[in-house]
């Protein structure tokens, strides 16, 4: 597993770096960003994996969220992958729509052609990328996961599906019930086919209904988000969590929209939330 450094910037005493590598899961070259806090010079640190939303790359969160100062203070690394496979041979939406294809991997394993050769973002995020990070950087095997919008969907789905791999989960404005949201219906139909039974494994609401192991979850949702009622539907998560007593905290934030201004306003609280569940003396395998 070789990686190539393509940028390096000092930030709050730590380092923001970008790398590219050949992905076996996705059959293409991929890029990711990592922030290493100053503490990583002396000992391995835990990692927060951040999954971004539609149209984003590895750069959006690192440049806009303002997470580095608190990550440096807490001694936490942050890894931000791209949101889909990339390259000339990777299929895209025929109409170049923003919500399918490039920049819209939805963090699932596609089973339908032509997507199934490259669109294996679930395997990439859960298995390949952490193995790469843990082989090349001074990090522990303690992981948390977070994300925004499509990435919030990915964080919830991946965290709930792998409770032994993540100590905590958080999300901003997640697509909470994609099987019943236009973005999710479009993507799932293309990537997975029309059989809705195959969609359930990538729907946070369906996974929450079946959850046995409990991983703490924090969700922030802006009340002024234009996608709130049509695409995101956080109340569905709330109802299921309350019915089964699951430790999920959904906070509705008055006046906030879907933008990175919203994320930047609460990202430090999310990092502190995740830090509560990192236990340096106990590795997560």
Asked about 58 being catalytic, the answer comes back as no
Residues 6+ apart with CB under 8 A from 194: none
- The residue from 82, 203, 220, 225 that is catalytic is 225
Rounded to whole angstroms, what are the CA distances from 175 to 66, 156, 211? 23, 9, 18
DSSP 182: H
- The residue from 258, 270, 274, 275 that is catalytic is 258
- The residue from 25, 149, 167, 170 that is catalytic is 149
| Strand ordering across the sheet containing 217-222 | 4-11, 14-23, 28-36, 77-81, 45-51, 139-147, 169-172, 217-222, 248-253
Residues 6+ apart with CB under 8 A from 133: 34, 47, 79, 139
Asked about 229 being catalytic, the answer comes back as no
Residues 6+ apart with CB under 8 A from 97: none
Separation between Cα atoms, residue 124 and residue 120, nearest integer Å:
6
Asked about 118 being catalytic, the answer comes back as no
HEC string of 22-46 equals EECCCCEEEEEEEEECHHHHCCCEE
Strands 28-36 and 77-81: antiparallel
Separation between Cα atoms, residue 16 and residue 14, nearest integer Å:
7
Residues annotated catalytic, as ranges: 149, 225, 258
């Amino acid at each position: 597993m070789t990686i190539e450094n393509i940028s390096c910037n000092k930030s709050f005493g730590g380092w923001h770096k970008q790398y590219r590598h050949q992905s076996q899961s996705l059959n293409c070259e991929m890029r990711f960003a990592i922030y290493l806090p100053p503490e990583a010079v002396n000992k391995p640190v835990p990692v927060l994996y951040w999954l971004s939303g539609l149209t984003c790359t590895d750069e959006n969160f690192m440049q806009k969220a303002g997470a580095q100062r608190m990550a440096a203070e807490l001694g936490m690394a942050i890894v931000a992958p791209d949101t889909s496979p990339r390259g000339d041979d990777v299929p895209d939406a025929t109409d170049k729509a923003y919500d399918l294809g490039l920049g819209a991997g939805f963090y699932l394993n596609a089973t339908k052609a032509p997507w199934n050769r490259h669109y294996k973002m679930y395997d990439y995020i859960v298995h390949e990328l952490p193995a790469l990070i843990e082989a090349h950087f001074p990090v522990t095997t303690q992981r948390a996961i977070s994300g925004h919008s499509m990435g919030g969907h990915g964080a919830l789905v991946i965290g709930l599906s792998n409770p032994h791999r993540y100590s905590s989960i958080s999300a901003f404005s997640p697509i909470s019930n994609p099987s019943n949201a236009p973005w999710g219906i479009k993507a799932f139909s293309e990537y997975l086919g029309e059989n809705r039974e195959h969609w359930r494994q990538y729907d946070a609401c369906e996974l929450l209904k079946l959850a046995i192991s409990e991983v703490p979850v924090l969700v922030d949702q802006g009340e002024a988000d234009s996608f709130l009622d049509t695409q995101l539907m956080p109340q569905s998560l709330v109802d299921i969590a309350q019915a089964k007593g699951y430790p999920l905290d959904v906070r509705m934030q008055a006046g906030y929209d879907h933008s990175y201004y919203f994320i930047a306003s609460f990202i430090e609280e999310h990092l502190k939330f995740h830090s509560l569940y990192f236990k340096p003396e106990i590795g997560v395998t």
